[in-house]
Structure 1
Amino acid sequence: MSISLFELALYTGALFVLFLTPGPVWVAMLARAMSGGFASAWPLAMGVVVGDVLWPLLAILGVSWIVSEFTYFLEAMKWIAVVMFLVMGVMLIRKSDTAIQSNSRLTAPGRWAGFIAGVAVILGNPKAILFYMGLLPGFFDLSQLTVWDIVAVCAISAIVPFTGNVILAGFVGKMRAVLSSPDALKRMNITAGVLLILVACVIPFT
């Protein structure tokens, strides 16, 4: 492998912080767990894994091809990643008291329905590949990645959110209480926003 343990650890930490940021998958997990418990929510987490592997893989392959054509692309993308994390952090802090809206269409009963809902949520946003194209060069030199590097990156991209989603489903009762409290939600969003900004500050030195 050409990437270091530090680079993998930093990327893992960034993914964990991003998981703490409420989004469509987060809301879908909560909706299913609240409606059908853990048994209803874990198939959705499995469905999300499909996109969490596919999007970074396609981003790596796409960026690697672009790098072969344009010399300074990776350096530019690293600074794009810095700006992206800064903007996400600031926006999260500014909108820290925004309530989360649920989607009842994601709560259909059944394991297969849960799995399909997970796939639909994660693949329903094609802009995710652009997100990874901006994110990954901030952590890795994509022009030097080996097959095992790509496997490691895709595995971490899937394992971190999957673990978080399963824990979220398992403790849904406590999470529901947190989300029902505007003050607690605001504190959580501010914390996640600050962490995203810190990640942006670290990227230039990797």
Structure 2
Amino acid sequence: MLGSAQIISYIAALGLAAAVPGPGMTALVARSVSGGAVTGFIMLTGLILGDLIYLSVAVFGLAMIAHTYTPLFALINWAASLYLFWLAWQFWRYQPQEVNFDQKATKRDLASAWLSGLTITLGNPKTIAFYLAILPLMISLDNVSLQTWGMILVPLTMFVLLVVGAVFILAAIKIRRFLTSAEAQRVLFRTTGIIMILAASGMMAKSF
């Protein structure tokens, strides 16, 4: 069972890690600007699922396997890196367009946003470092039961990431009207693309 000090430490560390701008939150802002709040929250569910996967990997004792980069994890690593490069290219070549505040996202847009969120998290070095390196320093994972994982860690993780992500989404919606110019959109999406490239390069560098 986790003590109150461990729970508070986990909430604070996770909230801080999520709030520090990285590939996930940067892409979330870009998607929210271009697609609206619904698209942003759909993408956020993908981001959260990716975090829960790494949380489960850490809790159930697979951190050591992940650190050794067995063929399976190496394959996942390369696939995530290549997808990040592809996303970076899409963000870089994004053509500025008029922002239609009343246009609803299609099912394809929502599915793409969700998949992007999941893959970005799986390929995010910051997320990997948090769950496989920092988390074990705060919580004794050997003593975490299935009940503790399912009834404490998973809900806490979802809540913290939902709150932080919602702040980014709502902030993005607030500034949408300031990003109607082509130049502002180009700067936002190309900055996102650069961050994606850096994240993907970091992932690939660890494979050598």
TM-score normalised by L of structure 1: 0.59
Q: Decide whether the 8 Å contact of 1:59 with 1:129 is kept in 2.
A: no
Q: Which residue is 2:90 aligned to?
A: 105
Q: Which amino acid aligns with 1:133?
A: L
| Whole-Å separation in 1 of the counterparts to 2:132 and 2:6 | 17
Give ranges in structure 2 of 5+ residues lacking alignment: 66-86, 95-104, 179-183, 185-208
Partner-residue secondary structure (3-state), 2:21: coil
| Whole-Å separation in 2 of the counterparts to 1:7 and 1:144 | 12
Q: Which residue is 1:200 aligned to?
A: none
Bigger shift: residues 16-25 or 140-149: 140-149
Q: Which amino acid aligns with 2:90?
A: R
Q: Decide whether the 8 Å contact of 1:44 with 1:114 is kept in 2.
A: yes
What does 1:11-22 correspond to in 2, within 5 Å? 11-22=10-21
Q: Decide whether the 8 Å contact of 1:56 with 1:132 is kept in 2.
A: yes
Q: Which amino acid aligns with 1:116?
A: L
Q: Which residue is 1:80 aligned to?
A: none
> Is residue 2:144 matched to residue 1:159?
no
| Whole-Å separation in 2 of the counterparts to 1:130 and 1:171 | 27
CA 1:138–1:61 in structure 2 vs 1: closer, same or farther (change >3 Å)? same
What does 1:50-65 correspond to in 2, within 5 Å? 50-62=49-61
| Whole-Å separation in 1 of the counterparts to 2:32 and 2:128 | 27
Partner-residue secondary structure (3-state), 1:171: helix
CA 1:153–1:170 in structure 2 vs 1: closer, same or farther (change >3 Å)? same
Q: Deviations over 1:63-98 (max 9, x none)?
A: 6889xxxxxxxxxxxxxxxxxxxxxxxxxxxxxxxx
CA 1:17–1:4 in structure 2 vs 1: closer, same or farther (change >3 Å)? same
Q: Which amino acid aligns with 1:163?
A: V
Q: CA RMSD in A?
A: 3.0
CA 1:135–1:20 in structure 2 vs 1: closer, same or farther (change >3 Å)? same
| Whole-Å separation in 1 of the counterparts to 2:132 and 2:24 | 20
1:10 CA displacement: 1.4
Give ranges in structure 1 of 5+ residues lacking alignment: 67-101, 181-206
> Is residue 2:22 matched to residue 1:26?
no
Give identity over the alignment, percent. Answer: 24
Q: Decide whether the 8 Å contact of 2:57 with 2:63 is kept in 1.
A: no
| Whole-Å separation in 2 of the counterparts to 1:168 and 1:64 | 30
Q: Deviations over 1:119-167 (max 9, x none)?
A: 1111224784454121122211112112122222233223211221122
Q: Which residue is 1:132 aligned to?
A: 131
| Whole-Å separation in 2 of the counterparts to 1:9 and 1:175 | 32
CA 1:27–1:53 in structure 2 vs 1: closer, same or farther (change >3 Å)? same
Q: Which amino acid aligns with 2:28?
A: M
